[in-house]
């Protein structure tokens, strides 16, 4: 089985298991029944670390159901390959080449070196950040809830934040609107989202090499693009809407695949929503818990366009960007754009009562595994909800991985003669 197919089947199996668990009577609050489509959509959104919802998590699911959702988010964020290798390590089994290849493919890495050490680092980083985030979140939530309930909310929120899943268990589809003035909770959530979106490989490099000049080209690009997008997003949202600097910074960080909001998305102007759409489409960095086309893809395209215009080779930080990386970046972006256009068109046909911008926002949010919503997702038709499920699934795996699922082995190499094609 190819690594891509294993990863796809792993995520699909996890979604199915989550759906069955959420359909159990014990998963719902007393007097509430969960429909199969609602369970499927919630499970898909959790495993794909998205956060788009058709039913409110707090008002619909019991403590058991919310625990199931938290575990689905955790496993979806870490990835089935990392979870599998972690299980091997706990049971003392040997991690073979096949398992290392799975991890490499799931994290979009180019080498098999240090895969086991990387998985150990991933688990330590994840649980370390989530423990710290839960402790800091508890300080705020304990002011409004009983200690035990505040602890449960804090743990759930930390898991959802670090894994860039916009789930909340505060009720009423409010997300973090009641805490828009809480500097502690805003910065804690944004910090978890940002570090979760950097990528595990980049975080390990930053922690071990401790010098900017010693970092790889990939990690330098990740840091540059993360800072640039955070600053640009904050400034543009502040210019387009009447929000505080804290609200602008928070939505700029959250739009990069987290999905939390301190004010309703429908309250933003069309220009503000368009800025958020761009941030959602770019998304987080490779090997992270976030989605989107990735920061390195946007940077590679930008540098290659500038270099092509100047008739030079694409470079960055005194390094040449490989031609294969440039082609991959453009291919991924075009496939992602084609998917977004197709899904937006189909849902517009199925649900013409909603505006084009509303539907485009939901589709990009699903593709980027973000979870921000204009509020129309629960009102969509059954077919549109299923299309959004498919969009989230493809967004979590990546369009290139989905396109290669049916490739069993490489085709025989055949060379053809070249002939120019007029472009432009």
pLDDT score, position 257: 83
Percent of the chain beyond pLDDT 90? 58
Classify 351 as helix, strand or coil: coil
pLDDT for 147: 92
Query: What DSSP string runs through 74-112?
Result: HHHHH-HHHHHHHHHHHHT----HHHHHHHHHHTT-S--
Residues 6+ positions from 156 with CB-CB distance below 8 Å = 66, 69, 70, 167, 169
pLDDT score recorded for residue 413: 65
What global pTM score does this model have?
0.90
Instruction: Return the H-helix or E-strand segment holding 319.
Output: strand 319-320
Query: Is it the case that residue 166 has pLDDT exceeding 90?
Result: no
The chain-wide mean pLDDT, for the chain, equals 87
* pLDDT tens-digit readout, 373-413: 999 999 999 999 999 999 999 988 887 676 666 554 555 56
**pLDDT per residue as tens digits for the range 261-320:** 999 999 999 999 999 999 999 998 888 878 889 999 999 999 999 998 888 888 888 899
Closest CA to 298 of 323, 332, 273: 332
Mean pLDDT, range 150-167, rounded to an integer: 92
Does the pLDDT value for residue 4 go beyond 80?
no
Which of 59-68, 119-128, 131-140, 378-387 shows the lowest mean pLDDT across its residues? 119-128
In whole angstroms, what is the distance from residue 187 CA to residue 267 CA? Answer: 22
What pLDDT band is residue 344 in, cutting at 50, 70 and 90? very high
Range scoring the smallest mean pLDDT among 52-61, 65-74, 202-211: 202-211
> In terms of Cα–Cα distance, which of 420, 424, 346, 357 is closest to 386?
346
> Cα–Cα distance between 240 and 268 in angstroms, integer?
8
pLDDT tier at 119 (50, 70, 90 boundaries)? confident
Largest CA distance in the chain: 73
Percent of the chain whose pLDDT exceeds 70: 86
């Amino acid at each position: 089985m190819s690594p891509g197919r294993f990863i796809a089947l792993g995520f699909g199996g996890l979604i199915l298991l989550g759906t069955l668990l959420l359909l159990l009577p014990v998963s719902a609050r007393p007097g509430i029944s969960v429909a199969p489509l609602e369970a499927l959509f919630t499970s898909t959104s959790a495993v794909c670390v998205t956060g788009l919802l058709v039913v409110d998590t707090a008002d619909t699911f019991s403590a058991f159901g919310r625990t199931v959702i938290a575990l689905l988010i955790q496993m979806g964020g870490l990835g089935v390959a990392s979870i599998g290798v972690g299980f091997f390590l706990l049971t003392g089994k040997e991690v073979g080449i096949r398992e290392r290849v799975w991890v490499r493919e799931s994290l979009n890495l180019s080498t098999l070196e240090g895969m086991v050490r990387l998985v150990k680092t991933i688990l330590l980083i994840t649980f370390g950040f989530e423990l710290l985030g839960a402790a800091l979140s508890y300080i705020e939530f304990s002011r409004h809830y009983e200690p035990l309930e505040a602890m449960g909310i804090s743990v759930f929120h930390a898991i959802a934040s670090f894994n860039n899943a916009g789930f909340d268990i505060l009720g009423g589809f409010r997300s973090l609107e009641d805490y828009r003035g809480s500097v502690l909770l805003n910065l804690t959530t944004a910090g978890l989202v940002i570090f979760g979106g950097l990528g595990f490989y980049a975080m390990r490099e930053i922690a071990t090499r401790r010098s900017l000049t010693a970092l790889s080209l990939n990690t330098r690009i990740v840091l540059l693009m993360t800072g640039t997008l955070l600053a640009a997003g904050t400034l543009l949202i502040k210019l387009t809407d009447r929000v505080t600097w804290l609200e602008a910074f928070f939505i700029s960080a959250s739009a990069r695949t987290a999905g939390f909001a301190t004010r309703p998305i429908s309250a933003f102007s069309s220009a503000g929503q368009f800025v958020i759409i761009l941030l959602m489409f770019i998304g987080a960095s490779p090997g992270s818990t976030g989605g989107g086309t990735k920061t390195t893809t946007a940077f590679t395209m930008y540098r290659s366009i500038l270099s092509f215009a100047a008739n030079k080779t694409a470079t960055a930080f005194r390094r040449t960007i490989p031609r294969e990386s440039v082609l991959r970046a453009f291919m991924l972006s075009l496939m992602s754009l084609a998917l977004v256009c197709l899904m937006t068109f189909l849902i517009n046909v199925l649900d013409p009562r909603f505006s084009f911008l509303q539907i485009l926002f939901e589709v990009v949010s699903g593709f980027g595994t973000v979870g921000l919503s204009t509020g129309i997702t629960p009102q969509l038709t059954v077919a549109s909800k299923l299309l959004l499920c498919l969009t989230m699934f493809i967004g979590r795996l990546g369009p290139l991985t989905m396109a290669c699922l049916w490739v069993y082995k490489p085709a025989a190499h055949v060379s053809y003669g070249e002939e120019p094609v007029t472009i432009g």
